[in-house]
Structure formats: structure tokens, C-alpha cells
Structure 1
């Protein structure tokens, strides 16, 4: 063998053997190869295209059904007698030529900038809508103007996959056979704008009191922005966040117009937001009728959303106002008449705006509920729905003031809470009632020291006396003793809408917002021995052959029977020996009826309340100061000119008088509370407290509490230095308590009420 042969032999022997390949490959690679994946993908695409072709051939453009299905709604009292008919749908069709070209373009800029160029559909948006529908996320944006017109005019509003596919096919066909101008005209004439207005002509009148042909670009941009969320964006009822959102949407519309060169940028810069005019009630809705109809509609709309028949409140509102419904309310015609008469005789007949400008700013609202069934048997929304569109019965922008104090006591009893020195909180537990006493938690000041009414110091008082006299300092401390998180939790369980509310000590003064309807539900739950009562306006609702079922107004046990009954027992003392005694206890029509209730007067005398109940009837009455021109909250001081001193309107005055005049006529037979408790004025007389050595620290009760302590807290130490907390910023009261020996009978001070920052500065109830 030569050298060359030897070298080649060594090279062959030194090489590494190549790894052997598996003859079969891995299991995953056998089933998933790029060829198979691509083949499957293209096969699915072909199947989808074939299915769409079949759908396109099978689905025809139906006859327009929007106008054909519009009907009146019929509203009935609980006995079946007709309350109202809504009349024909508020729509007037207008030719597109009657709408200024720039106004037409505001809708295109808002909804579908490519409208004049596209084929009538947005495949990407439709696909997103289908996925959201399948995943239960509800209605999403992305539809073209053509698709929205098809949905409004040819199809139902249901959020289903079938409806989405039909919308897609019909939109393609409509776009091929109908001009863009006709599609745009159909869209703006069939869309729902809120305030019961269908179409741009009705909307122009509802929001700006002009015909569509006279709309400005600014106004058109607002109406175009409104279509995204009519209920949320209606300026008259929008929240601060809603107003901010619609302004952003309005700017978005105009900026898009500039981008599309439909509007000159210099002209755009000079445009100001066109605030819509206040809404007006529809003809036939005068008096209380409109308020009852509105409350019934709202209840039905919420139920349609809850059961999935509407995607959101805007969709539900459109379905209800489209007509064809028969709604039977729980409202008792006789009790409704009695409530209206009571408000008139006790308040509105005494108002004279010519003599006293403040009388023009007075609003009243009331809701009456059967606590055993949850039925709303009567409702007062305002002087006249046509004159004052917003219902005072359901508005929740005013403070409930001291009517919140029973919620704090309920939370304390439900949680077996203790004072700072470990004493169980009960009706006879003693607290220090010193005005501006710094609230403490575990020996530390929490930065809150609310004043009492007229800055009065009460010294050591029982919880019963503190409720009777509505002593702020006691309930501020009690709220911290219980824990504000627990207080707000119980408030929600009783029926208050606590979403977004902070669990802070200032809430003990009722500084949140609440409606008469809401507070009627809270007190009805107490009256119903702690079993949840949700006020129900509607008894039944039918549409063609479909019946909408409503949930049972009576729910589960949310607080214990003993806790609820103890609060009721304590609240009888407010009537018999507290801030409501003159208007309620001494009313000759009472005839021995046992009553529980609570007054409330808010900061700067902007609202006053009385929420009271018998075993069979709960009624919440609110009185509000609202500027007749601007809608701003204002003082009610001096209203009617017949209250003593400086004429502060307190809960024990007109609200309690209205309550008594109504209740003692509507309640039926005289009855007594069946209470499962041995605490409170309803089962035992009020016992004056024995003074303690420490005027600041809550001390031991004068009698043994009915429940044993379940936890121990460090005792509160007496402050050794001046409070470091900032004093409340409310204006000091100017009215001293009256001497009953030298003046006509008046109520003791109603000390409750949420101040804007710290506390209420209300006046005498009387």
C-alpha cells in the first residue's frame, strides 16, 4: 500500500459516522407539517367562502320593518285601569336635502369616514363583533353606516351570530342597489337619539328646538356624537364623566371633518360646544303621569339588559320607546292620589315665587313602598313632568343626610361591634355627644371632628338619645368603631348604591348621594325584619306574545332579624321623643299608630328628608333646593315664609308633614311592630344616662347590654392636647334652639346630614 493509500485509509477511519435518521420521525411531525397546516387553512378559507356564497344567495333584502312595527305603549295602574298611552312614535322623516351638507358629514365623520368609498361593510369590525358576541362581551363598535342602517331598518336589534351574518349580507346587497345618499338618509332618519326621539328631525327639536334644516355644524356634531350612547351622553342627565366623554366625542367628530377636508381648521378652532336645551315632557305626560311612565320604562330597560334581551341600556331604551308594550305598574291609584294631595296641601300650595324667589327653587320627591311585597304603591316625581322633566323620586344627586344614621347602627348591631373601650354597641350604650369631638381609632385621632347642630354639646348620651337628637359626633365615632368598610358594606346590602363611594368617616353624615326610591328600599328592608326589599315599580310587561318576567322584589336575609328590629325600635324614639315629634307624633290623624322614622337635613340646607314607616307602609320624602334656571343645588332657607327663626327647612318640617298627611290616610288599620328585640324606645322607655367621669371616652352602658362583647379594643385615651385636625369648613349655625316654654312647639334640632366636607349645618325641625 502506498503512502497515498495509507493516508486515505486513515482519513476514512478517522471520520465520525453520520447519525442515523429515524425511519418514522416523531409523532408530532407526522401529524403537523407545514404542508398539512397550510392545506387545512386554505381548506377552511374555501369552506368559509363557499358558505358565505350560499348565504349571499339565500338571504334576500327584506321589506323594511322599522316603521311598520312602531306602536304605542300602554301603561296601567295595578288594578288594570289605563294610566297613559305614549301615542305615536316621535319620528318625522326628512329628505337628505333638508339637512345641511356639513351636518350630514358630521355623521360620516363620527361613524364611518370611508362611507363614500367602502362597499358597505367592515369585515374586520364585523369579525370582531362576531367574536365578541360568541364570547358574551356584548355590542362593540366597528359597523359601517350601511350596516347600522340595515340593523335599524331591516333587522331586529338582538345581538346574535345569525343577525350579524344577515346584517353583513344585506349590507353588501343594499350598498349595490342603493345610493350612498339614500343610505345616509335612512341612517339618520332611523337612529335613536335619546329623549324618545327617532330620527334627526325629532332629535333637532328635542335637543335644540330647531328643525333639522337649521342645525349648525356644532349642533350636528353633538347629535352625531350622541348616537354612541344616548342615555350616557344626554347633557341634561349626564354625569360629570359622561359630559367629559361626549365633549371628547364631539371634538373627535370635528377633528375628523378637518382631516377629511370637510371643515376649515380655522373655523374649527373657533367652535364652542353647543350645550343642548333642557328636555321637555311629551304631550299627555303632564302631572305625575310622565314620572310614572319614566320609572316604568327604566325598570323594564334594566330587566331587558339583565335577561339578555338587550345588549346595553341604549339598546334597551330603543326597544322600549319603539312601542308595542303593555306595562302594568304596582302603583295603587288611590294611594297615588293621596300622595299627590299630601304634597300639594302641605307644600306646593304654600309656595309663592312672586313673594319669595326661593320658592321657585323648591322641589319635592317621594316614594311609597309596601315592605311585605316590595311594590311601589305611589310615587311623586315633581310638580309636573312637562315643567320639571327630571324625577325627584329617582334622582340621587342630593345628600340623604341623617337618614343614613340608622345604617350605621344597623352595621354596628349586625357586626357585634364595640366602642373604643370594648363595650358592645347597643341602644343603651353611652357615647360622648360633645360637638367637634375628634374621632378616634385605637387611641389615635383620624382627622375628623364634625360639629353637632348649632354646635351644641350634649355630654354623655345613650345611642337611643343620640338617634333621637341626631347627634353627629356620636355617629361619626360609631362609624369608626364599626369600621367604615363594614358600614358601607351593610349600606349596600340594605339597598344603597355604594359603587364608587369611599369608606371614610365623613360618610357617617350622609354625604353621599341617594334617591327617595333608594332610601325607601333601605328602610323597607329594616321594616321587613332585615330581609332585602328592592322597590318594584312594574308588575308585568308584555310585548306581542312575549311576557317579560321580573325578579321577586323580596330577596334574602341581608342582616339579622334582631339587628333590623332593634333599629326599628330605636327609630320609634325619633318620632315619639325626637326630631319628628311635632309633625308626626302629635298629628291628630295618627290615632295611636306606631311609627319609626328618621329626619335628615343636609349641609347648607340644600336637602331635607323624612323616611318613616309603619308595619305595612314605608314612605321616603325628600325636599331639594334646585335653581330653577341653572339646576344647581341651592339653599331652601326661607321657603314658604312660615318657618320660625331664619326659616331653615329641616326634615321634621315639610317632609315629615307630607309623610304624616299621606301615611295616616293610606296606611289602613292601626298596627304595631312585631319586634324581636329587647332594646330601644319601641320596647322600653328611654333611660337617661348616668354621667361618667370621663366626658370624652365612650364608657360602660347604664344597663347590661343584650349581646356579649366578641372582641376587645384598646380603650380610648382622653386627649391631652388640642385637636390637630382641621375644623369643619361649614358656615357656623346662626339659630339657637328654641325654649319650648316660651315659643310655639317646634322640633328639636335635626343634627344629621352630610356636609360637603365635615358636617351638616341644618336648622330646627318644625
Structure 2
């Protein structure tokens, strides 16, 4: 090829080949992916996106602000359709920005959007992240500016869709052009939700500090600003300990950001202390039990909204009709039982302690998981903390069945490697040091410092022997016991120590009703729900199932039911025994007598009753002397309330029998003189026939009268097997300090050394 040909080839885009060949040509798909073509595609996409956005910008108008005008009441009904409350009329009073102290304005901006005064009104990165989260179904949106939040509050709704997010972006840009920063901030402060039904910062100031916003201090304003992140969780009156800690941390974060923005001197910040807000005032129409029922339903709806990635402001905005699962007949019966058995016995004018008594109760249908009756206190207007759902008092010995359930579920063994079953023998000596990993020498007192010597787990449950269950917690493993507790329905925010045996953690009657309902329901998880159905704007709201999967085996659950029938027939809960229907249950009394419990159930109904000593300011105090008596045990007022309630509900229904299938049920007492030395922790007093709970032996364990019902678990029993004395354990795995030999001339069980609680 000559030079002229080469120049012509270059002009045509070709390139001469070596050796005089023809210029190469690209073929196939490579022709479309040259760097020039890729650049062209990129520019085209950008242009298309810009054009689309511009078209949307022209198409989307700023709508009229009307979301606030659509706020409605929420209606609450009982299961039979009776309306008990209409709550949620708009609690909002618009105020001009000039009435909001500048330091409070700065607190809100520091908390929500510190660059608000200089930003373009939108957060493109956060919006893009929110769109991706929505498309991926992750629920929570990305970050938003104050302008975007104002647009969402005032012009749009809370739905989480890509379309709404794009509209929010476009409208925010337009609002940014049309309104000043002060106008936007004023609108945001007046439309945001702060909890306690308060829309707008003026209503919030009244709800939390009972003052107008122009009288609010910076410390108070910082708390109001902190509430915007999580109104219910940070409400000091109802927050958990973790919620209070988070609220204080958020309060500090707000002030620190103000220092960062030069709105607050650092030395002034250091001198500031957190001021607790006041208690909420009851809304009209919430007197008696209505307020407690409404609050329980409200908490459930907010919880379920959060589980769906939605905000509680959707509920506060109104338009809901909530039908409670409350049965009017059972509700009246529960209220009457508390009045007749407790309130009528109190005289606060004569006895100070009588003014400190708070009662709470929850009654659940274990087959559906629905709450059919609830008692939160004498009057919601006077005492707005619900005793039915509060979890700040110890459940005491009502926790002991959970320990045995964990032992059966995990096939645990004692320190000398013998199975932990209801018939296993433990050392019931008072203040016996716990042996094994994690025991740490813990040596709890038994009630009235009674010593029992060798005792079956069954009898230890009957008489609530602390020393036995403290050892059992270590034998099973404290981590395993806690795991079983959470699986059965407890919150699980407690320490793993041997003191678990005494129920040394917080729990509510609602929680314990869930635990015992799960046992009654043969091990299927029951999460009590007070809501039968809910609609929002006429559309059905999806509720979670109150009854879930099996969390412990039927053998374990039914075994505990069988064991607890004897607590009623021959133990601390005799007062609730009925000749008409079967009862299983457990008493509980905290060691300082600040709480007393009875958690019990029939085949068809689970009810927990708790009494709590609460002085002014929420201080926990003893119940000692209530009603002019002595110590308040679970077998006194709580059990009497339970019995009166169930008697009114069931009458003489003698068909209610437990349907049990278990190899680990009720263990008959051992014969006298079963041990001459240190008791074995794991010997079986009487083998239980495989597959079924065993009926009572004719040999009593003490001077107590025999059980009235020889077949406490509903008739599914094999004939009793004659007692077989256990082999004496010559080891010292229990670490017993009680080595006294029984008196051979004393014909009582264990030579008179084994004592029983009344």
C-alpha cells in the first residue's frame, strides 16, 4: 500500500495492516461497546433521568395541607360490640414560631437536622437509600431533612412506597422554594407527634410539663426534641429501664449537638441536669378499668405497627376501630372478686399499708391466647400505671415451675448425675449452700427458715422450698433456665444467678399469664393479646397470631401441669382447690413481701393475680400488715381473688379435666425412713409409669391430709405402682449441712426432722 492509500485509509477510520493486509474491522457486539459508545449511553441515561425528573417536577403540584384535618377518634369496643371509649380527638394547638423559645427551636434542629438552615431542603443520599429500602422490603426509610418530614406530616401520609418517597422529594424542593426556613420549621413543630396523643410542640409542652411552650426551659425542650425519635419508648411514665436510659442518652445527644453548632456554651452544657417530665393526665371517659383496657390495646397496636416497619403516629392520627377480646361477664366477675376479697378488707385511713396495696390480674383463654379479663388497678384516673402489665416487681416463686420445666426439657441431671424429675430427692435444708459451677456459695433461706431434709422435687414444689430450687437452677444450668423462661414468654432481661430460683427479676401478670398459658396449652407458645380485631379506615389490620409453635415438649408442659395440681391439692395453694373442676397453679411471695402472687389455671382458663406494695412516688414497700393481718402470701389475697373469680365464671362445671400425656408428672411422696445419711439429689422415690402421670400413693409424706383427688391429672392414669424405697446415696454431691439422723422412735416421716409449711 502506498502512502496515499494509507492516508486515505486513516481518514476513513481504518488502519493499514502490516505486510500490506487490509485494515481490521470490529464486528459483532463489540461494535456497541466502544468507549465512545459507552460515554454516549451514560450521557443519554443522565439526560433521560433529568428529563423524567423535570417532567415530574412540572407534573406534581404541592397539595393542600389536609392530613391534620383528617385526625379522628379511635373507638374501643368489647368483644360483644359495646363501645367503652372514644379516644384521640385532635390534641393540637398551633403556635407561631415566635412563641417557641429560640433555644428550644435549636434543640429540635440539633436533634433532627443540624444543617437545616443551610441545606437545600432534601437529602438525596438518604432519599435514595429510603427508596432502595422500600423496594427491598426492609421497611425503614432512609434519612430525611426537617423539610421532608414536614412535607410528609402535612401534605402526604405515612405509607412507605416508592411513589410517595418520590413525591416527598419533589414537593420538598417546591416547598423549599416557596417557604422560608422559619415557616418550614414552624410547620414542622406544629405537626410532629410527641407521644401521649400530643400533636405539635404546644400540646407536648402541656402533656409532659403542664406548661405552655413559651415557659419551657432548654433542658425540658431538649427532652421534647428527643421524643421525636421514639415517642412511646422515651415517655418517662411508661418507658422500660432501657427506654429511660435511651431517652437520657438522646437528651444528652441533643445538647451536645447544640454545643457543636455553637448554640450552647460548653460550660453551660456541663451544668445541665435531666429533669423528669410529669405523669400524664387521664383523658375523660377512661375511669375505672376502661383506661387500663385502652392502654393495653394501644400498646399492642403500636407494637404490631413497629413490627411491620410502620410508625405509631399512624395510630395516633385516629380512624381505628379496635374490638377487644374482653368478655364482659368475666371482666365484671374479676372486678367483683378483687373488690370482695381485697378492697373491702382495706382501710387506708386506719392502716397506712392498706393505702399502698396495688392489685393486678390477667385472665387468658389458653386455646386462643386472647385476654378475656384484665384488672389494672382501682381507677385509671387515680393510678395510671397498669398493675396488669407493669414488670417492675418480682414474680417470686411463680418462677419455680419454669426451673423444673427447663430441667425436664433439657433432661438435666443433679450433681451426682441422676435425672432431675418430680420424684428426685433433694436436700431441703434451710440455707444449704448451693453446689456446682456458678453457685458461689449462695445459701437462700426457706420461708420461715424451715428445714425439710430429704424431700422430693414434687414436695419441694408443693411447699415452695427455696434451697431445693436454688440447687436445681445450677444443676440445670442458669443459661438453660433463662432460655426456657424466654421461650415460655418472659422478657429475659435478667441476670443468670442462682437467685433466679426465688424469682429475683421483674415480670408482669401479663407475662406470667403467657408462661402458664403455654404450659396449659401443652407447650405451644401463647403470647396474650387483648385485641380481637382492628380496622383502620375500614380496612382490616393484620394481627399476629397469639398462639404459636411448640416451644417445649408436651411431655414437659403436661408434666408441669400434673405437678402443679398437687400444689393446689396438697401445697401452698390449697385455698383454690375446687371439688368442681381441676386446678393447677403456684403461689409466689417475694422475700421482702413487696409482692405476692398466684398464677393458676383450669383446663379452660389461665389467670394470674399479683399484689404489689407501692408508696408515693412509685417506691416499692412491704405488704406486711395489709388488711390488719401479717405477711401477705400468694396463698392469701391473690389466691382468694383467683378462687372467687373462677368460682363465679365456672360454677359447678365438673367436666373440666386436664388432658395430659407425660412421663414426668406428679410424683407420690416417698415412704418414711427413706434415707439415713446425706440425701441423694437424683434418686427416684417412686418410678413413674412410662407414658402417663402416676396417681397418688397411699403413703403420706407428712402429717398433711391426703389429696382429695387421687387422680389430679384428669383420669389418664395407670394404676399406682407400690412405692420402692430409693437406694441410699453415700456420696456428698449435694453439699448438705444437715447430717442429723432421724429418731427411730418417731414414727413421722424422716424421724420428725422433715418440717412442712402450713
TM-score by length of 2: 0.83
Distance 1:252 1:462, change over 3 A: closer
User: Match for residue 732 of structure 2?
Assistant: 718
User: Match for residue 696 of structure 2?
Assistant: none
User: Match for residue 517 of structure 2?
Assistant: 524
Take 2:419 and 2:367, find their aligned partners in 1: how far apart are those partners? 31
> Residues 457-468 of structure 1 correspond to what in structure 2 (within 5 A)?
457-468=451-462
Q: Conserved in 1, the CA contact under 8 Å of 2:559 and 2:665?
A: no
Matched, 1:486 2:442: no
> Residues 303-382 of structure 1 correspond to what in structure 2 (within 5 A)?
303-306=304-307, 308=308, 311-312=309-310, 315=311, 317-382=312-377
Take 2:39 and 2:239, find their aligned partners in 1: how far apart are those partners? 52
Matched, 1:667 2:650: yes
Give the counterpart of 2:613 among 625, 629, 640: 625
Matched, 1:584 2:585: no
Instruction: Give how far 1:542 is off.
Output: 1.0
C-alpha RMSD over aligned residues: 3.1
Take 1:244 and 1:40, find their aligned partners in 2: how far apart are those partners? 53
Instruction: Give how far 1:77 is off.
Output: 0.7
Distance 1:42 1:392, change over 3 A: farther
Which has the larger displacement, 500-509 or 424-433? Answer: 500-509
User: Match for residue 112 of structure 1?
Assistant: 113
> Residues 98-497 of structure 1 correspond to what in structure 2 (within 5 A)?
98-140=99-141, 142-306=143-307, 308=308, 311-312=309-310, 315=311, 317-441=312-436, 447-497=441-491
Take 1:506 and 1:37, find their aligned partners in 2: how far apart are those partners? 70
Which has the larger displacement, 557-566 or 402-411? Answer: 557-566
User: Match for residue 681 of structure 2?
Assistant: 698
Take 1:334 and 1:26, find their aligned partners in 2: how far apart are those partners? 85
Deviations 1:357-386 (A, max 9, x none): 333332211100112222210001122222
Take 1:224 and 1:479, find their aligned partners in 2: how far apart are those partners? 45
> Residues 500-519 of structure 1 correspond to what in structure 2 (within 5 A)?
500-519=493-512
Take 1:218 and 1:47, find their aligned partners in 2: how far apart are those partners? 50
Distance 1:176 1:433, change over 3 A: same
Take 2:422 and 2:81, find their aligned partners in 1: how far apart are those partners? 46
Instruction: Give how far 1:64 is off.
Output: 1.6
Instruction: Give how far 1:290 is off.
Output: 1.0
Instruction: Give how far 1:687 is off.
Output: 4.6
Partner secondary structure for residue 542 of structure 1: strand
Instruction: Give how far 1:604 is off.
Output: 1.6
Take 1:29 and 1:484, find their aligned partners in 2: how far apart are those partners? 67
User: Match for residue 553 of structure 1?
Assistant: 546
Take 1:604 and 1:24, find their aligned partners in 2: how far apart are those partners? 94
Distance 1:162 1:639, change over 3 A: same
Which has the larger displacement, 90-99 or 414-423? Answer: 414-423
Take 1:507 and 1:34, find their aligned partners in 2: how far apart are those partners? 70
Take 2:227 and 2:150, find their aligned partners in 1: how far apart are those partners? 16
Take 1:676 and 1:245, find their aligned partners in 2: how far apart are those partners? 45
Q: Conserved in 2, the CA contact under 8 Å of 1:426 and 1:679?
A: no
Q: Conserved in 2, the CA contact under 8 Å of 1:461 and 1:688?
A: no
Distance 1:37 1:610, change over 3 A: farther
Matched, 1:567 2:560: yes
Take 2:611 and 2:681, find their aligned partners in 1: how far apart are those partners? 35
User: Match for residue 725 of structure 2?
Assistant: none
Count of residue pairs brought into register by the alignment: 684
Listed as ranges, the gaps of 5+ residues in structure 2 are 1-22, 692-728, 738-754
Deviations 1:442-492 (A, max 9, x none): 9x9654333322332101111111111001121222233333333333323
Take 1:208 and 1:680, find their aligned partners in 2: how far apart are those partners? 56
Partner secondary structure for residue 284 of structure 1: coil
Take 1:447 and 1:26, find their aligned partners in 2: how far apart are those partners? 85
Distance 1:634 1:748, change over 3 A: farther
Instruction: Give how far 1:28 is off.
Output: 12
Distance 1:45 1:639, change over 3 A: farther
Q: Conserved in 2, the CA contact under 8 Å of 1:616 and 1:667?
A: no
User: Match for residue 650 of structure 1?
Assistant: 633
Distance 1:29 1:680, change over 3 A: closer
Q: Conserved in 1, the CA contact under 8 Å of 2:92 and 2:202?
A: yes
Q: Conserved in 1, the CA contact under 8 Å of 2:395 and 2:506?
A: yes
Higher relative contact order (CA 8 A, sep 6+): 1
Distance 1:254 1:695, change over 3 A: same
TM-score by length of 1: 0.83
Take 1:461 and 1:383, find their aligned partners in 2: how far apart are those partners? 42
Take 1:77 and 1:240, find their aligned partners in 2: how far apart are those partners? 32
Take 1:506 and 1:598, find their aligned partners in 2: how far apart are those partners? 18
Partner secondary structure for residue 183 of structure 1: helix
Distance 1:260 1:717, change over 3 A: same
User: Match for residue 740 of structure 2?
Assistant: none
Matched, 1:84 2:85: yes
Instruction: Give how far 1:547 is off.
Output: 0.5
Instruction: Give how far 1:520 is off.
Output: 0.8
Listed as ranges, the gaps of 5+ residues in structure 1 are 1-21, 709-714, 724-746, 750-764
Deviations 1:315-372 (A, max 9, x none): 1x21112111111111001111111121122223333333333333322111001122
Take 2:583 and 2:170, find their aligned partners in 1: how far apart are those partners? 65
Partner secondary structure for residue 541 of structure 1: strand
Deviations 1:165-193 (A, max 9, x none): 11111111112112322221211111110
Q: Conserved in 2, the CA contact under 8 Å of 1:680 and 1:686?
A: no
Which has the larger displacement, 106-115 or 23-32? Answer: 23-32
> Residues 603-614 of structure 1 correspond to what in structure 2 (within 5 A)?
603-614=591-602
Q: Conserved in 1, the CA contact under 8 Å of 2:554 and 2:662?
A: no
User: Match for residue 706 of structure 2?
Assistant: none
User: Match for residue 712 of structure 1?
Assistant: none
Which has the larger displacement, 501-510 or 542-551? Answer: 501-510
User: Match for residue 741 of structure 1?
Assistant: none
